[in-house]
């Protein structure tokens, strides 16, 4: 587990003096409500214990110098920041400085360490950006609210990294609280902290290690299909759609657009149903909603891959209460709700299924709702 001391030592070793502080932001798992956040819909994520850590100190020359654990050091001028530049991990850090300060900003020295699995669909990129923005906001005394920072983090993804993501990941990283799920309305940006009461139950995250790549166009293609369907249906956002509208639109919607609408409408309904059960303490009854969400993401939204499908099916066959992919899809992780006594059997079943299909071994961890972003030193 990475710590504030480790990232501070990394900073001091690279830059010759201690940082002015250390901040961290978590990755997230989305319990339910996938591919709804850019359509004005509902989601229910929670923070995980794995975090990105940032040590920071401001500069005055318009340069971002950064060192990342296991990745070396790099630098960029804020004048160089643009879509796709700088590439890789430095883009998130320089992009954060750029959206806060602009091309004529003062610059930063930064150290980064993270134990959020990269490519696991657990918001490793959002955690980096949110930790950096929180550090910059605190040290500059800018006074942005948490949701404002989430919006700035989304701008980094859109304008620098080139991924047209929604607002869920950034909001979760900055606004989640321990032992609670974040019921998020992405139209109003209102949130409700929903207690997680799950005695005798466990949430198993399985990183399938299938490459999770959103910048290859498929994520953007699904978003485009949603936007086109919204225009065709003549509604403000796809959140306002109903299943009846699909039939009424007929051939005006392509088959793919109609499938996207079906997913968004049904997924928002599942979020509402899951929240009701959780607020009533009936956590063990949400499993079928998770499983139905996976089926919708597989069949209608078309964002699963064989590893995700195999992991979900193997978990259910071994007695899990529910299982679904979590994150943007096209790789990444599954989330399984399982009784504590069945946990080992479910893990073993997934591992065996992967071996039978010739997939590389997955990685598992048990999780529960953790703290959101914070200053740590």
- Out of 109, 137, 169, 207, pick the active-site residue: 169
Contact 156, 351 (CB under 8 A): no
Domains of the chain and CATH, by start: 4-193 (3.30.230.10), 200-367 (3.30.70.890)
Residues ≥6 apart with Cβ < 8 Å to 257: 225, 226, 228, 229, 232
Residue 356 annotated among the catalytic residues of the structure: no
How much is the pLDDT for 119? 83
How much is the pLDDT for 214? 59
Query: pLDDT per residue over 164-204, tens digit each?
Result: 999 999 999 999 999 999 999 999 999 999 999 999 999 99
How far is the first Cα of the chain from the last one, in angstroms, to the nearest whole number? 16
Q: Where are the alpha helices (DSSP H) in 111-189?
A: 124-140, 146-155, 168-175
Mean pLDDT, 10 residues at a time, over the chain (377 residues)? 90 98 98 97 98 98 97 97 96 98 95 93 96 97 95 97 94 98 98 97 96 71 97 98 97 98 98 98 98 98 96 98 95 96 98 98 97 97
CB-CB neighbours of 366 under 10 Å: 13
The pTM of the full predicted model, rounded to 2 decimals, is 0.95
Closest CA to 4 of 112, 138, 94: 112
How much is the pLDDT for 2? 75
CB-CB neighbours of 288 under 10 Å: 12
How much is the pLDDT for 219? 87
């Amino acid at each position: 587990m990475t710590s504030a001391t480790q990232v501070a030592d990394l900073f001091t070793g690279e830059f010759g003096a201690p940082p002015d502080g250390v901040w961290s932001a978590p990755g997230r798992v989305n319990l339910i409500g996938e591919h709804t956040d850019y359509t004005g819909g509902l989601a229910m994520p929670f923070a995980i214990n794995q975090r990105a850590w940032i040590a920071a100190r401001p500069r005055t020359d318009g340069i971002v110098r950064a060192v990342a654990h296991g990745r070396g050091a790099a630098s960029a001028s804020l004048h160089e920041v643009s879509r796709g530049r700088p590439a890789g991990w430095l883009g998130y850090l320089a992009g954060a400085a750029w959206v806060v300060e602009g091309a004529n900003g003062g610059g930063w020295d930064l150290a980064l360490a993270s134990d959020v699995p990269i490519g696991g669909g657990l918001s490793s990129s959002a955690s980096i950006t949110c930790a950096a923005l929180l550090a910059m906001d605190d040290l500059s005394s800018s006074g942005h609210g948490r949701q404002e920072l989430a919006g700035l983090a989304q701008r980094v993804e859109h304008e620098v990294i080139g991924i047209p993501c929604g607002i869920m990941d950034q909001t979760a990283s900055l606004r989640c609280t321990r032992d609670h799920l974040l019921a998020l309305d992405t139209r109003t940006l209102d949130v409700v902290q929903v207690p997680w009461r799950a005695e005798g139950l466990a949430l198993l995250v399985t990183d399938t290690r299938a490459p999770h790549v959103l910048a290859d166009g498929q994520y953007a293609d699904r978003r485009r299909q949603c936007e086109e369907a919204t225009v065709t249906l003549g509604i403000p956002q796809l959140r306002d759609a109903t299943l009846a509208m699909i039939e009424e639109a007929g051939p005006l919607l392509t088959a793919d657009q109609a499938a996207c609408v079906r997913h968004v409408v049904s997924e928002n309904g599942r979020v509402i149903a899951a929240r009701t059960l959780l607020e009533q303490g009936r956590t063990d009854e949400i499993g079928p909603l998770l499983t139905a969400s996976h089926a919708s993401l597989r069949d209608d939204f078309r964002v699963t891959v064989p590893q995700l499908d195999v992991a979900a099916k193997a978990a259910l066959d071994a007695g899990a209460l529910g299982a679904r992919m979590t994150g943007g899809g096209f790789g990444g992780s599954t989330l399984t709700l399982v009784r504590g006594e069945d946990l080992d059997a479910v893990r073993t079943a997934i591992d065996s299924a992967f071996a039978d299909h010739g997939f590389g071994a997955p990685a598992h961890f048990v999780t529960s709702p953790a703290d959101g972003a914070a200053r740590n030193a």
